[in-house]
């Protein structure tokens, strides 16, 4: 496991992270810096080209409260014409307090899925991210792919599938390479660790056309206790987000 993670870090360099000044110090570890989190990134054959890792996983040892900000649209008529299977769920979603709407009325299958599960559960314990296919504009089939992947991962992690959140990035219009993804899950779960390498490999695995990986963590004191906030991100093209 450690050798594969070392290989991961050889693919693209880390971005220079320009943090604003403040009462914190930058520490390493990205998404694993905060207590209770593990991460992993591995190659699952999902990318169109090359063998850079393309599947990442972030898990939390305990029920983590989740806040998800992504695309939402309120044209349920539009929804019913495209995704009859999810329509009822989305109506329930209307009660989701932290939502706002964007001008983009097309939402990818993983986005619809996240809305659905967070409409019925306030906590999450795993985020699975694939790079290579965006699973957007892929209709019912794309949505079913997401459900299958979430279910398979939940079984491996012995948690409810509603506790799994999914992000996808890559070519819009393409469904995920589901078999390759499902076959890779055991190895991905097996390589989970709370180490810096785990976080770094996940930050690389979520990239597409990025030339650098983006990962940062800080430690500060809140109410007299040391807390940590960390994160990873990807993005290089199609960047003009209106998230709420």
Partner 1 sequence: TLLGVVTTDALVATDVWRKMVQVAVNRSFNQITVDGDTSTNDTVIALASGISGSTMISSCDSYEAKQLQACLDAVMQGLAKSIAWDGEGATCLIEVLYNDDSILKLYFQFIVKVIGADGEAEAAKIARSVASSSLAAIYGRDPNWGRIACAAGYAAIPFHPNELCISLGDILLMDGGQPLPFDRAAASAYLRKAGETHGTVEIHISVGKGPGIGQAWGCDLSYDYVKINAEYTT
Site for partner 1 in 176-205 (CB under 8 A): 202
In the complex, minimum distance from the CB of residue 91 to partner 1, in angstroms, rounded to a whole number: 20
Window of 56-64, 85-93, 146-154, 185-193 that interacts with partner 1 by CB under 8 A: 56-64
Chain residues 96-115 in contact with partner 1, contact rule CB under 8 A: 97-98, 100, 102-104, 106-108, 110-111, 114
226 forms part of the interface with partner 1 (CB under 8 A): yes
Q: Pick the closer one to partner 1 by CB: 52 or 234.
A: 234
Dihedral class, residue 50 (left if φ above 0, else alpha if ψ from -120 to 50, else beta): left
Q: Does 147 bind partner 1 (CB under 8 A)?
A: no
Residues 31-50 that bind partner 1 (CB under 8 A): 31-37
- Choosing from 5, 60, 117, 181, the residue that interacts with partner 1 (CB under 8 A) is 60
Contact between 2 and partner 1 per CB under 8 A: no
Among 80, 172, 187, 195, binds partner 1 (CB under 8 A): 172
Q: Is 128 left (phi over 0), alpha (psi -120 to 50) or beta?
A: beta
The yes or no reply on residue 78 touching partner 1 (CB under 8 A) is: no
C-alpha 207/C-alpha 189 separation (Å) is 19
Interacting residue with partner 1 among 64, 147, 159, 180 (CB under 8 A): 64
141 is an interface residue for partner 1 by CB under 8 A? no
| Alpha carbon separation from 68 to 35, 74, 111, 124 (Å, rounded) | 20, 17, 10, 10
Binding residue (CB under 8 A) for partner 1 from 19, 88, 92, 120: 19
Q: Which of 51, 65, 47 is nearest to 176 (CA)?
A: 47
CA distance 58 to 64: 12
Give the closest residue to 132 by CA, choosing from 167, 82, 182: 167
Nearest of 192, 199, 193, 232 to residue 29 by alpha carbon: 199
Residue 47 neighbours by CB under 8 Å, 6+ apart = 54, 131, 132, 170
The single residue among 40, 55, 58, 182 that binds partner 1, judged by CB under 8 A, is: 58
Is residue 210 near partner 1 by the rule CB under 8 A?
yes
């Amino acid at each position: 496991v450690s050798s594969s993670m070392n290989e991961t870090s050889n693919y693209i360099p880390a971005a220079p992270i320009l943090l604003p000044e403040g009462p914190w110090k930058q520490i390493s570890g990205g998404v694993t810096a905060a207590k209770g989190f593990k991460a992993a990134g591995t190659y699952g054959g999902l990318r169109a080209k090359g063998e850079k890792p393309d599947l990442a996983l972030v898990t939390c040892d305990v029920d983590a409260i989740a806040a998800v900000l992504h695309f939402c649209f309120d044209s349920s008529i539009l929804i019913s014409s495209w995704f009859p299977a999810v329509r009822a769920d989305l109506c329930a979603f209307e009660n989701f307090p932290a939502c706002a709407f964007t001008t983009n009325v097309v939402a990818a299958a993983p986005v619809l899925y996240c809305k659905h599960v967070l409409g019925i559960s306030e906590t999450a314990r795993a985020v699975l991210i694939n790079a290579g296919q965006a699973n957007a504009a892929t209709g019912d089939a794309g949505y079913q792919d997401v459900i299958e992947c979430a279910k398979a991962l939940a079984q491996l992690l012995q948690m409810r599938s509603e506790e799994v959140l999914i992000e996808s990035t890559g070519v819009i219009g393409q469904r995920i390479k589901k078999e390759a993804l499902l076959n890779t899950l055991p190895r991905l779960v097996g390589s989970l660790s709370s180490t810096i390498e785990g976080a770094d490999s996940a930050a690389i695995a979520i990239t597409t056309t990025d030339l650098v990986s983006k990962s940062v963590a800080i430690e500060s004191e809140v109410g007299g206790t040391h807390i940590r906030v960390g994160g990873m991100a990807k993005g290089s093209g199609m960047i003009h987000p209106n998230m709420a």
